[in-house]
Structure 1
């Protein structure tokens, strides 16, 4: 872990073994924090905040841009680490690092555009100002599916805003998060501004969220855990950003470019083995083009080459852990038992490693698990709809509202979907493109608050009104 810019073991010397998900081999250990470690991290975050909040924005920008450059320069070595512990193909690891550097650069430049304003007074001799100030030390919790990009989406806007941050990254993928943090340290980030800890998630969240010095919580993960953390933060009046689970609906209208829609969705669905919160999961295709869509969709999926992400030719790696394997088997068996057709896949691949075949379930009933539980894996559910009213109703049926997709060549249909589909982001005629300049966040049980865009910095700023009279 990193505390006060020093890499060290935990005070209790506790560790956890890390496995390669492609072959189950032990590849290392990660240090686990205890309460003493966390108190040290908080103390450093408090002192680091006092330094960083007074650091001129242009200097914050310089250091952050330096970190992005180091991340880019080290991309090949870091990609190998990322693939080794998370499983995704090297090409996807390199892409994640490139996106992370882009996120950091964008936020770094936004640091120089944090503006207050002057408000015209109602009397002579009075000056009224609105200041934007960093909220204070932040506790951030990130998942294993994008162990560098998800860290960047929290660290970058927090640092750009002038906050210090304690990062509790995923124990499954510690080295990837550490490499991003290392880039900031090597770029000259002052001691205490950024700390990295690992440990028992419930213990760390309880300790940090309850600590009076922590003023902001940001979490990416499952909806049930997010609700628990939000409730805990609420008892301490802590500001929160929650980027939670999704179950993204897809609407393919008859007037769409059906071939493009099928290819785009096949590629998007099985990226990172489907372990993406914004992955397209519930695919509704208008009945007149259903067969055409399925022919291209399934053919594209059968081109996927499942294997060790470090091997040339692999286009989909293993699932991150054995829990996900069991979850995919449970979703598939449940859907088939209820009448769904197993069009392709549906089985584990090999006896070692967490490989699962890309799976398509056709016409699952609405009460099946796969249509009500976020799959978070390489399982797609596809069925037909008769009219747009039916598709929109199904898209909005669940309590999730993170992402949604649609394919149509009619501006009238696109506009209707834009207004009626309940989601934080709707992508029309394209795969997800969560660029750093765009706000990304959910509605309903998919969370609240935004990462990306100017809104991402706003989450780490508080507003202060200052009125000065010369009398």
Structure 2
């Protein structure tokens, strides 16, 4: 299929041309240019803000039935357009087509869940003496500025659009310039399902320019951001200048505790594919494997064997299990981090190099016995690299899991029920998977603690994050 023409969507109008600056969208499997993306200027952003203000006035008074109809209709359209959406995502981001199809289904499930949740935005009446009445209500926070990264080009925009729309907010979406057509496809499903054109818009541009312009406006009442901790901290400071509400899903460095009472092959069969999903470009990717000494060598060797068998190639090829990295910055980062680790004494067992001379392919890699002062043990690699270190006992393993300031996702494998409860309590993380790598779902909150952010997306919590509480007392 052909890659679509690109434009911003402001008040339902496709906006392009006009001498605007452009960004080249590149296929990461080939390095070839797919299209030129128009970037917003100040006038475009002002128009988007004015439109969002009008959209909020209209949508905050919509009924639950109207909101549900739009969300359910968009879910049906995404299901009908699944193959086209998935192929676009693979062309511009690189992930295998099978993973992109799943991403569409994630949005379908989330939108259908939110369609039900709009009927459960409850308040309450407080007990008061006769003649007095006190109520607590939930109201939409207002226009939302939502920033989505490139690693899940369909799922991230779905999260950013679904919750505000369910809550009765308007939203300006700035998705990643590397993967714009996927985000536009999700928004178009909402518009085609009957969402008023002024309620949701998509703009693109120089990130710092767009963020400063939108967050500098009093029209915006909430920031929703998914991305790196460094950028998140910067945006949080901009939002604080106007006391805007924030939901921040930031970086991680996922620890995986593997105890000596497990079936090692079962753990490997689950966690090795999870590590290399989306070429490791996943915020909840299992990364630091903290393995008890008695099973360390067997686990390490099994991981190396599985990494070496992964089929790397163009995501549109049916045989591909891992696609390219999303942009040329990522292979460069892998080489820097692996080089630093090996210079400091880590052992590289497999990978550690690029594949071919087209696109941004990188071999699935495994490092072991990495010194804790290596950059890769402290900086999120966001790539196809597993870090495997031996530890003596439970206390040491928990200490290592909690050593970093990140706390997004963590995993643990043990057959000891009491230990499972201890781990669940001791690990500092917003999400923990015990004997599973499944830590998300439409009905489950998704978010982190510490430097991994605050607030949640998905689940009832995702809608709650777009609401404010009002107490009314009548005499």
Short-chain TM bin: over 0.9
Question: How far is the alpha carbon of 1:453 from its aligned partner?
Answer: 1.6
Q: Does 1:15 align with 2:27?
A: no
Alignment coverage as a number of residue pairs: 468
Question: CA–CA distance in 1 between the matches of 2:265 and 2:428?
Answer: 26
SS of 1:348's partner is coil
1:373 partner SS: coil
TM-score, normalised to structure 1, is 0.98
SS at match of 2:428: coil
- What are the Cα deviations for residues 255-275 of structure 1, in whole angstroms up to 9, with x where unaligned? 122111112110110000000
Rounded Cα–Cα distance in structure 2 between residues aligned with 1:412 and 1:384? 22
Contact in 1 for aligned 2:432/2:439 (Cα 8 Å): no
What CA distance in whole angstroms lies between the structure 2 residues aligned with 1:320 and 1:187? 31
Find the aligned partners of 1:10 and 1:362 in 2 and give their Cα distance: 51
Q: Secondary structure at the match of 1:278?
A: coil
Residue 349 of structure 1: aligned partner: 355
Aligned counterpart, 1:26: 33
Pairing 1:465–2:471 present: yes
Deviation at residue 31 of structure 1 after TM alignment: 1.2
Distance 2:275 2:85 in 1: 25
Once the two structures are superposed, the pairs formed by residues 279-294 of structure 1 within 5 Å of their partners are 279-294=285-300
Q: Are the aligned partners of 1:247 and 1:279 in contact in 2 as well (CA < 8 Å)?
A: yes
1:267-282 paired onto structure 2 within 5 Å = 267-282=273-288
Q: How does 1:339-418 map to 2 (within 5 A)?
A: 339-418=345-424
Query: What's the counterpart of residue 323 of structure 1?
Result: 329
- 1:234 and 2:240 equivalent? yes
TM-score between both structures, scaled by the size of structure 2: 0.97
Post-superposition shift, 1:152? 1.1
Q: 1:210 is matched with which residue?
A: 216
User: Which residue of structure 2 aligns with residue 183 of structure 1?
Assistant: 189
SS in 2 for 1:356: coil
- Say if 2:39 and 2:204, in contact at 8 Å, map to a contact too: yes
Q: Which moved more, 1:3-12 or 1:103-112?
A: 3-12
Q: Select which of 73, 77, 81 maps to 1:70.
A: 77
The aligned residue for residue 437 of structure 1 is: 443
Q: Deviations over 1:19-75 (max 9, x none)?
A: 100010011111100110011011111111111111101111011100011011000
Q: Is the 8 A contact 1:257 1:407 kept in 2?
A: no
C-alpha deviation, 1:433, in angstroms: 3.2
The CA distance in 1 between the partners of 2:246 and 2:226, in whole Å, is 11
Which aligned runs of 4 or more in structure 1 are off by greater than 4 angstroms?
none
Determine the C-alpha separation between the residues in 2 that align with 1:373 and 1:465.
44
2:60 equivalent in structure 1: 53
2:137, 2:344 → 1: CA distance? 58
2:308 to 279, 302, 306: 302
Structure-2 separation of matches of 1:210 and 1:432: 38
For 2:141 and 2:179, the matched residues in 1 are separated by 29
Counterpart of 1:249 in structure 2 is 255
Aligned equivalent of 2:11: 4
Structure 1 alignment gaps of length 5 or more: none
Gaps of 5+ in 2: 1-7
Q: Equivalent residue for 2:5? A: none
